[in-house]
Amino acid sequence: MRYHVDLAQSLIVMGRSAEAVPLLEEAIRRSDVAAPRFVPYGALGQALIRLGRNDEAIDWLLAAREQSSGLIPQIYLLLVAAYANAGRIEDARRELRDYVKPAADVHAARCAPQHEADAKPLPTSSSASFDGVARSGLRDHVDEDVDAGLPITAGVQAEFAERPDAARRSRRCRSSAPSS
C-alpha cells in the first residue's frame, strides 16, 4: 500500500486533500505500509488540517510524533497549525517552543557541506496549513518578548558580540554555501 501513501501525499500538495484522506485511512487500516508509521499518520494530519478538521488532525499528528520519537520537525509545525486553527493557543505555543528548541543544533548540521546526491529537497508546505498560526498572533521566528522596533540584525549582532566563535561559524557557514 506504499503507493496509497505516495499518491495521497501528491494529492495533498495539489490541494486535493479530500481525495487523499480515504487513501491514507486505507493504508493505515491495512497496516502494510512500507514507510514508517509516522508517514501516513502525519500525511493524514496534514490533509485533515487543510479540510478544517483540526481536532482529528491533532490526534493523528500526536500519533505521528510518537511514532517518529519526536525527531521530525514538520510534525511539530503541523501541530502548531492544527492547535492554532482549533483555538488552542497555549498548546500551539508549546509545540512552537518545542520546535524552536533544537533549531540551533540543526543550524550547525545544515551548514555542514553535503554531497549533492545526499541532499533531499524539503517538502513544500502550503500557507493554508499555517493560516491559523498567523490568525492567532503567534510568530514562528521570534520570542514573544522581542521589541519589534529593533532592526532585524540587532539580536544577531548582540550574539556575535557576546560569542566571537558564533561569528566565525557563521562566516564559515556562508562560505560553504553554494553560490548561485
The CATH number that applies at residue 125 is 1.25.40.10
Residue 114: inside a domain:
no
**Domain match, 39 and 85 both:** yes
Geometric angle at alpha carbon 35, from 30 and 40, rounded to 5° = 65
Residue 68: inside a domain:
yes
**Domain match, 159 and 83 both:** no
pLDDT higher than 50, residue 62: yes
* 70: confidence class by pLDDT, cuts 50, 70, 90: confident
**Domain match, 154 and 131 both:** no
Average pLDDT estimate for 147-160: 51
**Domain match, 125 and 179 both:** no
Which of the two residues, 116 and 17, has the higher pLDDT score?
17
**Domain match, 30 and 78 both:** yes
Residue 115: inside a domain:
no
3-state helix, strand, coil in the chain (%, to 5): 65, 0, 35
Q: Tens digit of pLDDT for each residue in 100-145?
A: 876 545 555 555 545 544 444 444 445 545 565 565 555 555 455 4
**Residues of the chain with pLDDT > 90: what percent?**
39
72 is in which domain, residue-wise? 2-107+120-146
Residue with cell 493504508: 27
**How many C-beta atoms lie closer than 10 Å to residue 167's C-beta?**
14
**Domain match, 138 and 153 both:** no
Model pTM score: 0.60
SS3 1: coil
Query: What mean pLDDT value characterizes the chain?
Result: 73
pLDDT higher than 70, residue 90: yes
Looking at residue 42, what is its pLDDT?
95
**Domain match, 81 and 162 both:** no
Domain count, the chain: 2
**Domain match, 141 and 152 both:** no
**Residues of the chain with pLDDT > 70: what percent?**
53
HSE-up of residue 74 (Cα within 13 Å, Cβ side): 14
Looking at residue 50, what is its pLDDT?
96
Residue 112: inside a domain:
no
Which of the two residues, 44 and 148, has the higher pLDDT score?
44
